[in-house]
Amino acid sequence: MWRFIGRRLLVSALLVFVVSFLTFLLQAVTPGDTARMILGYNYTPEAYHELRARLGLDQPVLVQYVHWLGNALHGDLGTSPISGVSVASEILKRLPVTLSLVVLATAVTALVGVGLGVLGAVRGRGTARLVDVLSLGGYALPNFWLALVLVTVFAVTIPLLPATGYVPLSSGPGRWLAYLILPVTTLVLQGVAVFARHTRDSMRDVLSRDFVTMLRANGIPERSIVFRHALRNAAIPTVTVAGLTFIGLFSGTVFIESVFAMPGLGGLAVQATTSHDLPTIQGVVVVFTVIVVLVNLAVDLAYGWLNPKVRVS
């Protein structure tokens, strides 16, 4: 098991290094100039070259990356040349917002999706068709339309929930949850559809196997067969969907945080891209990559727990 974890950690560290280098390289060839963005329209060539030298932009890209990497390994992601704020401190301030949104959305997606999938597999064609209809609706409804409808209905017409903003969990679980209900609902619709279909199909496959027939012949209660035996065997593809859902929700937060005015990493990435704030872009990408790597590692470990054969692969 430890060898299995060691291999995954080694691959994960290599992936973070490759992504950080490619991001740095792409930023170097992207149109735009941080120095010009700071100076505005009226500046002298001397001031421009002096600022580029002060920011280290006049050095070769490889030299800039090595310098950045050395600082990053010590926890220093640099300072934003636009705001003058430490990139690491800004990310740490905004990370709880994005994680709250993504973790809660993933949990709701998994619970509702698995529940609908198991129901569709056990109850027969009528419930299965209902799952198909919900899945089709989840795919068809665009997030931006659903977000606007939810805000209009539940924040304007019926002022039950706040339309914008975020409060930390330390302010109270009730207030924290109230600010997350609308954005989480917007995010989970498509994910629930994916979870429901994968769980239903996987459960159907497991329930048709010989060992389930043997359990039924031995008089094991149907509830025990479904939840103790079949669901665990059907969980491996569901774990894959859970990992992909968690990762995919990070891309969705860029739009959701903008619509609901949430001060998360998605909004920070948009601001940094607009102002050509290279250190902030680099920091956000690295943090996102580390989170994706950790999620993939968790999925691999879940595979090893659910199926011991995976540990020796």
Q: Are residues 165 and 240 in the same domain?
A: yes
Q: Are residues 152 and 32 in the same domain?
A: no
Between CA 195 and CA 134 the distance in angstroms is 11
Q: Give the mean model confidence (pLDDT) for residues 294-308.
A: 73
Q: Are residues 140 and 172 in the same domain?
A: yes
Q: Are residues 108 and 237 in the same domain?
A: yes
Q: Are residues 7 and 139 in the same domain?
A: no
81 in a structural domain: no
Burial string for 249-276 (b: 16+ CB within 10 Å, else e) reads bbebbbbbbebbebebbbbbbeebbebb
Residue 310 has pLDDT above 80, yes or no: no
Q: Are residues 267 and 201 in the same domain?
A: yes
Encode pLDDT of 21-52 as tens digits.
888 888 777 776 777 777 777 777 888 788 78
Q: Are residues 67 and 192 in the same domain?
A: no
What rounded mean pLDDT belongs to the chain? 82
Q: In the listed set 43, 72, 101, which residue is the last one of a domain according to the structure?
A: 72
Question: What is residue 1's predicted lDDT score, i.e. its pLDDT?
Answer: 61
Distances (CA, A) of 266 to 67, 176, 187, 199, 222: 26, 19, 14, 30, 45
Q: Are residues 298 and 196 in the same domain?
A: yes
215 in a structural domain: yes
Q: Are residues 48 and 104 in the same domain?
A: no
158 in a structural domain: yes
Report the phi/psi class of residue 282: left, alpha or beta, with left for phi > 0 and alpha for psi in -120 to 50. Answer: alpha
Question: Which long-range contacts (C-beta less than 8 Å, at least 24 apart) are formed by 147-151?
Answer: 147/182, 147/183, 147/186, 147/256, 147/259, 147/260, 148/259, 150/182, 150/185, 150/186, 151/182, 151/259, 151/260
pTM, entire model: 0.79
Confidence bin at 268 (pLDDT 50/70/90): confident
Between CA 304 and CA 311 the distance in angstroms is 5
First to last CA, the chain: 10
For residue 273, what is the domain's CATH number? 1.10.3720.10
Q: Give the mean model confidence (pLDDT) for residues 122-130.
A: 70
103 in a structural domain: yes
258 in a structural domain: yes
Q: Are residues 67 and 94 in the same domain?
A: no
79 in a structural domain: no
Least confident of 38-42, 128-132, 157-161, 226-230: 128-132
Nearest of 264, 224, 221, 243 to residue 91 by alpha carbon? 264
Query: Are the C-beta atoms of residues 162 and 155 closer than 8 Å to each other?
Result: yes
Q: Are residues 18 and 123 in the same domain?
A: no
Sign of CA dihedral 257, 261, 263, 267: positive
State the residue range of the domain holding 182. 87-312
Least confident of 81-85, 97-101, 251-255, 307-311: 307-311
Q: In the listed set 32, 47, 72, which residue is the last one of a domain according to the structure?
A: 72
Between CA 185 and CA 103 the distance in angstroms is 13
Nearest of 270, 263, 269 to residue 288 by alpha carbon? 269
Q: Which are the contacts of 84, defined by CB distance < 8 A and separation ≥ 6? A: none
Residue 190 has pLDDT above 80, yes or no: no
Q: In the listed set 72, 96, 114, which residue is the last one of a domain according to the structure?
A: 72
247 in a structural domain: yes
Give the number of C-alpha atoms closer than 13 A to the C-alpha of residue 169, restricted to the C-beta side.
7
Q: State the total domains in the chain.
A: 2
Q: Are residues 96 and 223 in the same domain?
A: yes
